[in-house]
Amino acid sequence: MISDQFDAFFFDLDGVVYLGDEALPDAVESISRLAEMGKYIRFLTNDPRPSRTSIAADLQDIGIEVDRQHVVTAGWATAKYLTQQAIGSSAVVGSDALNSEIRKHGIEVTDDSPDAVVVGADEGTAYDDIRRASRHVADGAQLIGTSPDGWFPTPDGPSPGAGSIVRAVETASDTTATIVGKPEPLMFEMAQTGIPLTARIAVVGDNPSTDILGAHRTGLTGILVTEDEPAQSSKYDLKYPDQTISSLADVFSDESEVWDSPSFDWPDAVRPGVGAVVLNDEDQVLLVKRADREAWALPTGNIEKCESLEEAIIREVQEETGLTVTVEQVTGIYSNPADQLFIYPSGETIQYITCCFRCSVIDGSVQANLDETIAVEFCDLGGLPGNMLEMQRAWISHAVRNRDAPVVK
């Protein structure tokens, strides 16, 4: 049984424990039974509107005994995050409870030159709030979102969540917010306070993009409450649950598998890219040393909007090395996330699908573009530098091996 496999259970609320004011079938009985078995119980919600005290009271009203210390809301977690970052003042878009949680942590809530602006949402959020938050960001305030949820379930259907307001402010201010709530690991880490480090923890939720993804990003087991078996896009997809159940009663009947975490981080996006194996008459390959990684690599880059593959590779080589090339042949298409996932200084994590081409020089002289590269050289194929991206050694090998293949026109 699932209940025997874990020492602690982290439950999402909306859609798992209750819907509106009504407890979902088997929820109260199942959670109470787990508590009687001595399991550690925590409740995590991305809803930034209520306080921990009010949620504890709501749970007690439907028959679940809980202390507010065992409730982690996106609003409370955001307030705690502000203290961790030594932020002294913040403007707030959201409920009275969100404002109160932030004040309780010793942070001044003000619209007078705040250090940060926290964006949540409640029923009273209006256009003026989005404009106010955007102008604070323009004046230098950090943009912090309580949670990314675009919607949340209600008995009458979906309602806009805090994420929809956060995205509006991001668009208006041309800034990316720091998100505190699920699927970021922070809330899950906060929920582990008071639980032994060796405890086996399961996260039970109804949203693959927040509950399951967040569980796996934190190294925890993710159990999805759903009537439908989710479609698996990849064995490495962190949104795919370890187990699906139709109600909380199933924690006493089914077994779950242990999540086998991949060796790479979860990417923020997947993007197309191009790479160039530029060979000269002396059997040498063109390499660049990038300013951001300080490692030798082939000329590579993104494909811009309305740009063909050939145009992209010619532009990238020109920008990085000063050389004009002709594109001869595609030599490989590479997409392994273990090799082609990069974390940039901004924190953005991108997985690339790279189309690699064999090219030859038709004009220009080698010169580094100091904005992107600190060195450009032709290197002997038998003496490639040691500090080079390992996957690109294979790319070069493939290009050289197929050098006599017909030219692509």
What amino acid positions are annotated as catalytic residues?
A: 12, 14
Q: What is the DSSP letter of 212?
A: I
Report the 10 Å Cβ neighbour count for 158. 10
Burial bucket for residue 310 (CB in 10 Å: 0-12, 13-18, 19+): middle
Nearest 5°: the CA angle 25, 30, 33 is 150
- Rounded Cα–Cα distance for residues 320 and 63 (Å): 65
Residue recorded with tokens 């250090």: 115
Which residue from 228, 391, 406, 222 is spatially nearest to 330, judged by alpha carbons?
A: 406
Residue recorded with tokens 């699932």: 2
Which residue from 172, 199, 190 is spatially nearest to 71, judged by alpha carbons?
A: 190
Buried/exposed 229-265: b ≥16 CB within 10 Å, e otherwise: eeeeeeebbbbbbbbbbeebebbeebebeebeebebe
Q: Are strands 269-278 and 284-290 parallel, antiparallel or unpaired?
A: unpaired
For residue 308, what are the CA distances in angstroms to 65, 275, 315, 327? Answer: 61, 13, 11, 12
DSSP E strands: which ranges in 146-268?
151-152, 159-160, 178-179, 201-205, 221-225, 243-245
Which residue from 91, 101, 8 is spatially nearest to 47, judged by alpha carbons?
A: 101
Task: Say whether 224 sits in a helix, a strand or coil.
Answer: strand
- Rounded Cα–Cα distance for residues 261 and 238 (Å): 8
- Rounded Cα–Cα distance for residues 43 and 79 (Å): 17
Nearest 5°: the CA angle 195, 196, 200 is 90
Cross-strand bridge partners of residue 354: 273, 334
